[in-house]
Amino acid sequence: MTSTEKNIEFPQSILDECNRVIQLFPEGKQKSALLRILHIAQAHFGWLSVEVMDYIARMLHIQPIEVYEVATFYSMYDTKKTGKVKLEVCQTGPCMIEGAERIITHIEKRLGIKVGETTKDGIFTLKGVECLGACGYAPMLQAGENFHEHLTEEKVDALIDEYRANPTANYMGMIND
C-alpha cells in the first residue's frame, strides 16, 4: 500500500460528525475513534482509498500504517472500490456446515466473478466474511443493510435479480426474506 501526497476533502458535515466522535474520547486517545471514523468515511466515499486513510491518519494524529492495518484487518472495510451491492457471504463454521461453500460457488458462477471481485457492470462485489452473528439462520449473507438467511441457490438467484433491477435496495432495507 503506497501513501500519496494527493489531498482529498471531507465535506463539512462529515468532518463535524468525525469531530463529534473524536470528542467522545479523552484527550490523547483520539485513536480510539478510528473504527467509527472509518465507518463514516466508507459510508460517504463508498470505500477507503489510500488518500482517505491518510486523511484519517492526519485527523487522528497517528501514522498512516495504523489506519491501513485496521482497515485491512476487518472485512467490513473495503480498501478497493466495490460494486453498488456487496454480497458478503459468511464463511465461518456454522454457515460452512450448512452450505456456504455451495452458495459462494453458485454466486461465482451466476455472476462470473470470484470472491473479492466485482462484476464488469459495477453492480456486484462478492466477499467472503467471518461470522455475522446470524449463525442460527445459516447459510446467510449480508447485502448492505439487509441480512438474507437460510439461503438456497433459488433464493440467491432471486436476490441477484432483485438487486440488479434495484441496486440501491441494499441500503434501504427494501428486500427482505
Chain residues binding ligand FES by CB under 6 A are 90, 92-95, 131-135, 138, 140
CB of 150 to ligand FES, least distance (A): 12
According to DSSP, the residues that pair with 142 across neighbouring strands are 88, 147
Indicate the residue among 93 and 112 with the shorter CB distance to ligand FES. 93
Question: Rounded distance, CA 170 to CA 30, Å?
Answer: 32
Alpha-carbon distance of 90 to 47, in angstroms, equals 20
Answer yes or no: are the C-beta atoms of 33 and 20 closer than 8 Å: no
Residue whose CB is less far from ligand FES, 147 or 171: 147
Q: How far is the CB of 74 from ligand FES (least distance, A)?
A: 16
Q: Least distance to ligand FES from the beta carbon of 67, Å? A: 27
Give 22-27 contacts, CB < 8 A, sequence gap 24+: 22/59, 22/60
Please say which residue, 37 or 95, places its beta carbon nearer to ligand FES. 95
Of 64 and 99, which CB lies nearer to ligand FES in the complex structure? 99
At its nearest, how many Å lie between ligand FES and the CB of residue 129?
9
**Residue whose cell numbers read 463535524:** 16
Torsion angle of the four alpha carbons 132, 48, 1, 81, in this order, in degrees rounded to the nearest 10: 80
